Amino acid sequence: MKGVDLADRAGRQIRVGLDVGGTKIDAVAVDPAGEILGRLRRPTGWGEDAVLENIALAVGTLAEQVGLSASDIRSVGVGIPGLVDADSGRVLHAVNLGVDSLDLAVRAERALGVPFRVENDVKAAALGAAALRGVSGSMAYLNLGTGVAAGIVMDGRIWRGARGTAGEVGHISVDPNGRLCGCGQRGCIETFCGGGALAKAWGRPGSLPVRDILDAADTGDSEAVALRDDLYRGAAAAVRVLVLSADVETVIIGGGLTSLGERLEQGIRHALLAGAEASPFMRSLHLDERIELLPAGSPAAAFGAALVGAAITEKESVSHG
Amino acid sequence: MKGVDLADRAGRQIRVGLDVGGTKIDAVAVDPAGEILGRLRRPTGWGEDAVLENIALAVGTLAEQVGLSASDIRSVGVGIPGLVDADSGRVLHAVNLGVDSLDLAVRAERALGVPFRVENDVKAAALGAAALRGVSGSMAYLNLGTGVAAGIVMDGRIWRGARGTAGEVGHISVDPNGRLCGCGQRGCIETFCGGGALAKAWGRPGSLPVRDILDAADTGDSEAVALRDDLYRGAAAAVRVLVLSADVETVIIGGGLTSLGERLEQGIRHALLAGAEASPFMRSLHLDERIELLPAGSPAAAFGAALVGAAITEKESVSHG
C-alpha cells in the first residue's frame, strides 16, 4: 500500500475495517502490507444496541475466521452513515440504521478492548477507493446508492471541509421543475440518480427496482426509458459538479448501483458525451475519460474504514491500552 | 498581514499587484507590512502588445506616484483573465483583452527588470479577498462580473485543482430548460447571474444594464422582475454549489456587479432563505449568514495579485537579478 504504513511492533499488527450499511456490515482484516487477509458480511440490525452488538460480532467472527486473537488487532475503523464526529467517535442521525445517537467508539472500545475510529461511510469509502485504485492526486468518490453523496480525497487525505458538507452533491438542484427530494428541495441530483428516488418514481414491486427499470427500458417501456435517462443524466451532473467546483482529476463511482455494471458505466459516459456535444469547453474537460466504476462487491468501503482506523496515532493507541 | 511575510532586505521591499480587467488595470503598491501605499487605474488596451505596454506603464506610473524606483520593487504580481500557466507566466485565450497567447512574465520582466508572476484573475482576487477579510480557514470568492467564476482558498492558499477548473461554477447547469450559455450548454449558472448574459437577455441600451434591470424591477416591469429573480437565484445556486461540494465556510462575493451594493447582497440572501424554506437540511447550513459582499471598488483583486507576486521564492527572485 503506497503511502500507508501499517507496519507495527510485534502483535497488534492487524487493522480491521467495517463498512456498516443499511442492511449488512462488510468487514475486512488488513495486514501491515495492506493485503486483505479475510472478509465477511453479516447483518447490521436495527437500533443503537443491535448495531453495536453486530459490530462487535463482526470483529469477533472475522478475527476467528482469520485466526486472530483480540491482541492481534491494532485498530478497528468503522465507516457508518449519518453525521459522524470523527474526534469523539459519536454517530448522529443514522436514520437507515435506526440510530439517533450512538457513542460508538467509546462503547465499542469498552466492549472489545481495541481502539476504534469512526468516520462517515462515504468519506471512508473514498479513502479506500483512492488507495485501492492507486490515486495519488485528487479524486472524488461518487456513491450511487439509496442516496447520492461524494467524498473527496486530496493527496491521500479525506477532505473534510468546514462543516461536514464537502461532497454533498446529491442535494444540489439541477432542475427547478424536477421531482421533490426527500430534503425538501426540487430537482436535486439525488432525485435523478438515487436508488431510493428512482424506486419511488418507478413505483412497481421488485427487490432490485433500478435493475428492473433498466431491463424495462431495454424492452422500450417509455416510463422506464425516462427514468433510465434521469439516472445517467443525474450521475453525469454530479460528475460535472465535482470537476467544475473541486476540480478532481478522477471520479470513481461506487455504491449499490454499481451492481448494474457495464450498463451504468456506459450510460453515464454517454450522458457526459451528450452533455458536451454543444460545448467546446465541456468537451475540453474529457469527463467521459475521467470516470471509473468500482467493480460490484469491491471492498473499497471496508478497506477505507481500515485505513481510517490505521490513522489512530501511536499515542492514542497506547492510551487505549 | 497575517500569514504573509512581505519583509525583505533593504531595497526591493515593495510588492506591486495588478488586476488586469477587460477595460482597466487596477494597480496597488504594497509595503512589507501589507499596507497599500498607492493605487491607480489605467486603461488595459486591446491585444498582446497594448496589454503588455499598459502593464508596464501601470507599474511605472504607480512607482512614480508612490515615489519608488524600479529597484524598490521586489515583485509584480498580475491577475489576468484567461487560461494562465502560473509556472511559465504565459496567458492563453484572454478573449476579453484580445489576447490569444502572451508570454507575459518573460516579456514584462525583460521590459522592466523586475520579477513577474502571473495568475488567473479570479484566483488572485480570491487570495486577496481572503487576506483583506482575514479569513484563515476555507472560503470561496464568487466573482459576479460579465461572467461568473469562483476561486477557492484553503488556509491562505489558492486551491488549484487538477486541471485548472476549480471554482468554474458559472458553467454548472441548474436548469435544463434555461437560456443558452456562451459555452454551449443550457441553464448554466452564468446565464442566470452573469452580467453579460443578463444584459443580452434585457436587450435594451444603457451603460449599466444590470442596474437598469434592478431599477426597472423596482418600478414593477415584469421582464425586469424576472431577470432580477434570475440574478439572485443564480448567485444563490452558486453559493449552494460551493458549500455542497467544497464545503467552504464563507463565500465572499466580488466582481463588477458588487457596484449594486446592498440590493445585490439582500437579494442573494433572500434567495438563499427562500430556497431553504422547504428544506430543513438547507436551513441547517445557514447559507444566508455565510455570504459577504466586497465593498464596490475593493482593491482585493490587485492586492491578491501582489500576494501572488510575493510568493516568488528568494531563489527565483535572485536568479532574476
Sheet holding A250-254, edge to edge: A157-158, A148-154, A138-144, A250-254, A291-293
Q: What is the mean pLDDT of each run of 10 residues along chain A (321 residues)?
A: 43 92 95 96 97 97 94 96 94 92 97 96 97 92 96 91 93 97 96 97 95 98 98 98 97 97 97 95 96 96 97 59 39
A273 touches chain B (CB under 8 A): no
pLDDT, tens digit, 9 for 90 and up, residues B235-275: 999 999 999 999 999 999 999 999 999 999 999 999 999 99
Q: Write the single-letter amino acid at B287.
A: L
CB-nearest to B245 from A164, A174, A241 is A241
- Chain pair A-B, CB pairs under 8 angstroms: 126
Measured CA to CA, the distance from residue B103 to residue A83 in angstroms comes to 49
Q: Is the dihedral of CA B68, B69, B72, B75 positive or negative?
A: positive
Using the beta-carbon criterion (under 8 Å), do A169 and B137 form an inter-chain contact? no
pLDDT at site B71: 87
CA distance A31 to chain B (A): 32
Listed in sequence order, the DSSP H helices in chain A are 48-66, 104-112, 121-132, 189-193, 195-202, 209-218, 222-245, 262-276, 280-284, 300-310, 314-319
CB-nearest to B174 from A173, A184, A248 is A173
Grid cell in block for residue A178: 424536477
Chain A residue with minimum CA distance to B173:
A174
Grid cell in block for residue A232: 445517467
Q: Is the dihedral of CA B37, B43, B44, B50 positive or negative?
A: negative
Which DSSP state fits B311? T
Using the beta-carbon criterion (under 8 Å), do A185 and B282 form an inter-chain contact? yes
Measured CA to CA, the distance from residue B321 to residue B304 in angstroms comes to 24
* A63: Cβ contacts below 8 Å, ≥ 6 apart: A16, A29, A69, A70, A72, A73
The string of DSSP codes covering B128-147 is HHHHHTT--SEEEEEEESSS
Q: Which of A66, A65, A62, A18 is nearest to A44 (CA)?
A: A18
CB-nearest to A167 from B241, B245, B275 is B245
Q: For residue B2, is it left (φ>0), alpha (ψ between -120 and 50) or beta?
A: beta
B136 touches chain A (CB under 8 A): no
Q: Is the dihedral of CA A150, A155, A157, A162 positive or negative?
A: negative
Q: Which of B182, B177, B108 is nearest to B149 (CA)?
A: B182
Q: Write the single-letter amino acid at B47.
A: G
Measured CA to CA, the distance from residue B155 to residue A216 in angstroms comes to 50
Q: Which of A259, A212, A264, A256 is nearest to A235 (CA)?
A: A264
Chain A residues inside the 8 Å CB shell of B138 = 161-162
Using the beta-carbon criterion (under 8 Å), do B172 and A245 form an inter-chain contact? yes
pLDDT at site B155: 86
Angle at the Cα of A247 (from A242 to A252), degrees rounded to 5? 55
Listed in sequence order, the DSSP H helices in chain B are 48-66, 104-112, 121-132, 189-193, 195-202, 209-218, 222-245, 262-276, 280-284, 300-310, 314-319
Burial of A237 (0-12, 13-18, 19+ CB in 10 A): buried
pLDDT at site A12: 76
**Which of B244, B252, B273, B286 would you mutate first to test chain A, the one with the most A CBs within 10 A?**
B244
Measured CA to CA, the distance from residue B252 to residue B273 in angstroms comes to 17
Q: Evaluate whether B42 touches B53 at the Cβ level (below 8 Å).
A: no
The position carrying cell 500507508 is A4
Measured CA to CA, the distance from residue A248 to residue A138 in angstroms comes to 5
Chain B residues inside the 8 Å CB shell of A240 = 172-173
Backbone angles phi, psi at B43, to 5 degrees: -65, 150
Chain B residue with minimum CA distance to A171:
B244
* B266: Cβ contacts below 8 Å, ≥ 6 apart: none
B135 touches chain A (CB under 8 A): no
Q: Evaluate whether A170 touches A180 at the Cβ level (below 8 Å).
A: no
CA distance B168 to chain A (A): 5
3-state secondary structure at position B116:
strand
Looking at the DSSP bridge assignments, the partners of residue A154 are A138, A157
The string of DSSP codes covering A246-290 is T--SEEEEESGGGGGTHHHHHHHHHHHHHHHTT-HHHHHTTGGGS
Q: Evaluate whether B242 touches B279 at the Cβ level (below 8 Å).
A: no
Q: Which of A165, A125, A118, A166 is nearest to A145 (CA)?
A: A125
Burial of A50 (0-12, 13-18, 19+ CB in 10 A): middle
CB-nearest to B279 from A177, A183, A281 is A183
pLDDT, tens digit, 9 for 90 and up, residues B227-240: 999 999 999 999 99
ipTM: 0.92
Q: Write the single-letter amino acid at A6.
A: L
Tell me the average pLDDT of chain B.
93
Encode B150-186: b = buried (16+ Cβ within 10 Å), e = exposed.
Answer: bbbbbeeebbbbbeebbbbbbbbbbbbebbebbbbbb
Measured CA to CA, the distance from residue B75 to residue B308 in angstroms comes to 9
Q: Evaluate whether A82 touches A95 at the Cβ level (below 8 Å).
A: yes
A249 touches chain B (CB under 8 A): yes
What is the CA A43 to chain-centroid distance, rounded? 17
3-state secondary structure at position A208:
coil
Grid cell in block for residue A10: 510485534
Which segments of chain B have a pLDDT < 70? 1-10, 313-321
CA distance A170 to chain B (A): 9
Domains located in chain A, CATH noted: 14-125+299-319 (3.30.420.40), 134-293 (3.30.420.40)
Q: Evaluate whether A28 touches A17 at the Cβ level (below 8 Å).
A: yes
* CA–CA distances in Å: residue B125 to residues B133, B253, B262, B301, B305: 12, 10, 21, 4, 7
B138 touches chain A (CB under 8 A): yes
